[in-house]
């Protein structure tokens, strides 16, 4: 497998289990698996930028992205393919040089158009058919790390 020049990821259902937790005061909670931070580390050690493209828009994701020094963060996105194309233009690369992992309807066009695509094992079956690889882990269980290890030949 050819090493990508950019790794992009969805958040909910990939870095999280897809659950959205709310308390009685209106706070929203998400649980991230620490294993995924190693995926970012591995990508950066290989000089590959990492980007998050998500339909949600939360301070929680912004804080996680800042902590991990994510190179690109786009929240509240309706058209993920368009955002990815714009990042590619900025980096002077093609979508064929991009790896992406996503798990749901908003990810389909990007899964179909990148060079390397994957879904977590927990993604719906009709979404999995649009990706080249189905990971063994579910969303929220370190699947982003598994994806990066696989595409970089670490595991």
**6-152: what fold?**
Rossmann fold (3.40.50)
pLDDT tens digits for range 70-97? 999 999 999 999 999 999 999 999 999 9
Per-residue confidence (pLDDT) for residue 81, from 0 to 100: 98
HEC profile of the chain: CCCCCEEEECCCCCCCCCCCEECCCCCEECCCCCHHHHHHHHHHHCCCCEEEECCCCCHHHHHHHHHCCCCEEECCCCCHHHHHHHHHHHHCCCHHHEEEECCCHHHHHHHHHCCEEEECCCCCHHHHCCCCEECCCCCCCCHHHHHHHHHHCCC
Conformation bin of residue 73: beta by default, left when phi > 0, alpha when psi is -120 to 50: beta
Burial class of 104 by CB neighbour count within 10 A (0 to 12, 13 to 18, 19+) = middle
Q: Are strands 133-134 and 28-29 parallel, antiparallel or unpaired?
A: unpaired
Q: Are strands 28-29 and 21-22 parallel, antiparallel or unpaired?
A: antiparallel
Average pLDDT over all residues of the chain: 96
pLDDT tens digits for range 36-83? 999 999 999 999 999 999 999 999 999 999 999 999 999 999 999 999
| pLDDT of 126 above 90 | yes
Cβ distance 146 to 95 under 8 Å?
A: no
Of 45, 60, 44, residue with least CA distance to 12: 60
């Amino acid at each position: 497998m050819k090493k990508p020049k950019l790794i992009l990821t969805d958040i909910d259902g990939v870095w999280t289990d897809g659950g959205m937790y709310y308390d009685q005061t209106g706070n929203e909670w998400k649980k991230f698996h620490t294993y995924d931070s190693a995926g970012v580390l591995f990508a950066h050690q290989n000089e590959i930028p990492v980007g998050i493209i998500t339909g949600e828009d939360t301070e929680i994701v912004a804080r996680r992205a800042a902590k991990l020094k994510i190179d690109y963060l786009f929240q509240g996105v309706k058209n993920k393919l368009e955002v990815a194309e714009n990042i590619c233009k900025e980096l002077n690369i093609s979508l064929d040089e991009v790896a992406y992992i996503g798990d749901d309807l908003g990810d389909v066009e990007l899964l179909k158009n990148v060079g390397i695509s994957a879904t977590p094992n927990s993604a719906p079956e009709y979404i999995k058919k649009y990706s080249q690889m189905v990971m063994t882990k579910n969303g929220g269980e370190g699947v982003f790390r598994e994806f990066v290890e696989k595409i970089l030949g670490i595991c």
